[in-house]
Amino acid sequence: MLSPVLCSELSALEPEYTEADVISAVEFSQSGEFLATGDKGGRVVIFQREPLGEYNVYSTFQSHEPEFDYLKSLEIEEKINKIRWLPQLNSAHFLLTTNDKTIKLWKVSERDKRPEGYNLKDEEGRMKDISKITSLQVPVLRPMDLLVEASLRRVFANAHAYHINSISINSDCETYLSADDLRINLWNLDITDRSFNIVDLKPENMEELSEVITVAEFHPHHCHLMAFSSSTGTTRLCDMRSRALCDQHAKLFEEAVDPANRSFFSEIISSVSDVKFSHSGRYLLTRDYLSAKVWDLNMENKPVETYQVHDYLRSKLCTLYESDCIFDKFECAWNGTDSVIMTGAYNNFFRMFDRASRRDVTLEASREVCKRRAVLRPRRVCVGRKKRESDVSVDSLDFRKKILHTAWHPTDNIIAIAASNNLYIFQDRHSHHGHHAGHRLEQDRPPQLQDAPPQ
């Protein structure tokens, strides 16, 4: 058991930032040109990729505000839980953002021209003296400094009694789903006053509650297929063609638990914290507390690959339970070619696993280690004695520094890592040489850092 000192230190945050600045969602747009982040304060910051490959701030807006539910006497947090981009149809960009209760559709558009030469108003907007107007003019559009506006287009509210944990846009680009702890609803992007309930796990008697929905996602190509994971460690694939209410699953992905490994915390560590379809649509990536698993959609009884992210924590579960760290929900990501998967860990570490070569790397995203243009060194966590100077001992891991949210560019080897209030964007060194976008990330050539300023 760890010493009590570690537990108490977990409650103290670094003084440099406030809780509201902690990033809670990271998402690349479908083309990869934009990167959106959401934080606990309800703000969204959008970065745009510059021609040279860097990402700079494009737009910032306040998406959600704290609300109060008077009926239940509950405060509704403004924390952004998920952001999802719509496919781009015209010059504007649309994205969905959600907090615990309300989903919003935002339109982000540019304005680089403005009309000048109004008849009744002058340049500052003051009314002109009518008696001084001698002729009429037609206002003309003149170039102006680029202005990026974010405007709220739709509000999808009052459809969830429980906390929304995921949203996912269908491949048909017309509908999307939103999932809370017990229900999944299907929306039309244009209709805000009604939604269809497609999954309902709420038992007749709440005393019999045994599982909750943790994540839900649409299949990338088949608009009738969706997957959702549960707190019991199972992932279900549902076909919306078979029936309106998809409580009955088409497939159930569950791996038998080895009874020899049972502990007090077996249920907690088996709870699935993220589900991602591969880009090909053939595989599912699930993340539970200690591992990441790749499932073939055609095989339900066990995953095709299991990657231990930080199995050395297995002996520390009690301490992690006391500090609430065991409830952390790590996300996971595929690269563009589905050959590498990535997920976060503690101590600002994140891990990448190459599926074909079975090689993996642990990297650190922190200000002390990351310098601009510097190549990241692989890190190692050791359980016993340090074999190398650069090794990090398990007991010295900082559990306050957790990388829960990571995102991979849809085609290029660019990754976005959120570490508390900082966003790190890394790219593969080889991309500078114009290599093919699908170039694999190799362990002996760690990615190069491109630092993005904090929000």
Which residues are near other proteins by CB under 8 A? 69, 72, 74-77, 79, 100, 162-163, 165, 181-182, 205-212, 214, 231, 259-260, 262-268, 271, 318, 321-322, 324, 327
CB of 247 to other proteins, least distance (A): 17
Query: How far is 49 from 223, CA to CA, in rounded Å?
Result: 30
* Total residues found in the chain within this entry: 455
CB of 194 to other proteins, least distance (A): 24
* Largest CA-CA distance found in the chain, in angstroms, rounded: 92
Query: How far is 346 from 323, CA to CA, in rounded Å?
Result: 13
Contact indicator for 131, 120 with CB cutoff of 8 Å: no
Between residues 318 and 437, which has the closer beta carbon with respect to other proteins? 318
CB of 245 to other proteins, least distance (A): 21
Instruction: DSSP for 245-306, please give it.
Output: STTS-SEEE-----GGG--TTHHHHHS--EEEE-TTSSEEEEE-SSEEEEEETT--SS-SEE
Between residues 118 and 327, which has the closer beta carbon with respect to other proteins? 327
CB of 127 to other proteins, least distance (A): 47
Strand partners, 450: 425
Q: What is the DSSP letter of 402?
A: B
* Of residues 223, 215, 335, the one with CA closest to residue 286: 215
CB of 419 to other proteins, least distance (A): 23
Between residues 18 and 210, which has the closer beta carbon with respect to other proteins? 210
CB of 41 to other proteins, least distance (A): 13
Between residues 148 and 268, which has the closer beta carbon with respect to other proteins? 268
Backbone angles phi, psi at 207, to 5 degrees: -65, -20
Exposure string of 179-218, with b = 16+ CB inside 10 Å and e = fewer, is bbbbbbbbbebeebeebeebbebeeeeeeeeebbbbbbbb
Query: How far is 318 from 324, CA to CA, in rounded Å?
Result: 10
Between residues 126 and 264, which has the closer beta carbon with respect to other proteins? 264
Contact indicator for 177, 226 with CB cutoff of 8 Å: yes
* Of residues 83, 77, 105, 78, the one with CA closest to residue 37: 83
CB of 75 to other proteins, least distance (A): 6
CB of 205 to other proteins, least distance (A): 7
Between residues 27 and 78, which has the closer beta carbon with respect to other proteins? 78
Between residues 151 and 263, which has the closer beta carbon with respect to other proteins? 263
